[in-house]
Amino acid sequence: MAGPGTEMKAVVLDGPGSFQARPLPIPEPRGDEVLCRVMSVAICGSDPKIVKGATRPTWPPSYPFVIGHEWAGEVVGGSADLAASQAAKFRPGTRVAGEAHKGCGSCENCLRGRYNLCLDYGNEAAGHRHYGFTSQGAYAEYIAVSIQALHLLPDAISFDQAAMLDTAGVAVHAVQRGRIGIGDTVVVVGDGPIGILTMQYARTAGAGEVIVVGSGPRLQMARELGATGVDFTDVGGSIDRVVTLTGGMGADVVFECAGIRSSCEQSVMMVRKGGRLVMVGNPIEPATIPWGKVSLDEIELIGCRANPNVSDRALRLISTGVIRVEGLITHNFPLDDFGEALATFVEQRDGAMKVVVNP
């Protein structure tokens, strides 16, 4: 395989709302890193917020910066410090997908396997990486990434499908956090990619019925995949409809996947006494939670961040067809058209759900 030159093209953020595709030096892999050629990178719901500057100064920590974290590609070469066994596993041409989080490996949380909650978050000198957020990301032709954040791709998975790994992994982690029991009634609030995938994984985990709250073509897709659909624009209100569908009880487990204030506030009201609410979305606006109901009904509020220790499992379920991701990918764009790709995603043009950029 021919090696890269000295420069690559990348989408570079120069400030809030300011970005362009331009040449950058190809990053040099160091330590346990390999250099990968990015083949597909999917736009995440967090990306428009980072582009606008709504998450500053945490994401990104400074400008210029390259975002993007839902990616797949192939290994080009490894660091000179890479052990022989690791170099053999990640030899040039190996097809991989990346995880956004890589913990420092030595803090208390990392040692417990909760590297998504690394106590050295943002400290690159300590070994932490959050690609596309605090460390340089994947809207580029190449990315240098720790092998700890890489996963080998089954032959049956395309690069576009593999770029869905981060989204699929979040759904798997959410379902695990929700502790679904056989026959449980589950509600998923939000019919975006994470909501649709959470619905599918909930079914594989044994849910007796999964109700998805959404609208339009996305809700129709959820119905076609086996969910009971509730249109949040119904006159009767989505809360009343969910309560009715659950025999007046509410759901055993509710997954909030929309990440907006109204959905967070409504989700609590859909949980039965003694049930669980898993907060999968990441709202920027503060929400008003009815703490009296949470307390008196003994509702468990469960946070959910990223996709630790689930990526290989998610890939297996995708490669075997148990989980379907191909229908979620609606648009593809070249790297030079990132602005158009981002607008298509944000405005949901032509039914856009998951938009993939192909460097």
pLDDT tens sequence across 225-262: 999 999 987 645 899 999 999 999 999 999 999 999 99
| CA-closest candidate to residue 38, choices 110, 123, 111, 141 | 141
Q: Give the model's pLDDT for residue 233.
A: 74
Residue 359 C-alpha from the chain's centroid: 20
**Fold match between 7-164+325-358 and 171-303?**
no
Q: Give the model's pLDDT for residue 1.
A: 44
Q: Give the model's pLDDT for residue 284.
A: 80
| CA-closest candidate to residue 41, choices 345, 347, 351, 348 | 345
Residues 190, 304 contacting (CB under 8 angstroms): no
One-letter amino acid at 150 equals L
Cα separation, 67 vs 136, whole angstroms: 6
Token pair belonging to 76: 């080009």
Q: Which residues of the chain have pLDDT under 70?
A: 1-3, 234-236
**What are the boundaries of each domain within the chain?**
7-164+325-358, 171-303
The helix (H) or strand (E) run that includes residue 47 is: helix 46-52
One-letter amino acid at 58 equals T
Q: Give the model's pLDDT for residue 295.
A: 98
Q: Name which CATH class applies to 7-164+325-358.
A: alpha beta
Backbone dihedral angles phi then psi of residue 40, each to the nearest 5 degrees: -145, 140
Q: Give the model's pLDDT for residue 3.
A: 64
Which superfamily, per CATH, for 171-303? Answer: NAD(P)-binding Rossmann-like Domain (3.40.50.720)
Backbone dihedral angles phi then psi of residue 215, each to the nearest 5 degrees: -165, 160
Secondary structure (DSSP) of 151-179:
EEPPTT--HHHHTTHHHHHHHHHHHHHHT
Token pair belonging to 142: 């190449």
Distance between start and end Cα atoms, the chain = 18
Backbone dihedral angles phi then psi of residue 12, each to the nearest 5 degrees: -110, 125
Ramachandran class of 279: left when φ > 0, alpha when ψ lies in -120 to 50, beta otherwise: beta
- Scanning 53-188, the segments in alpha helix (DSSP H) are 84-89, 108-111, 159-162, 165-178
Cα separation, 96 vs 223, whole angstroms: 32
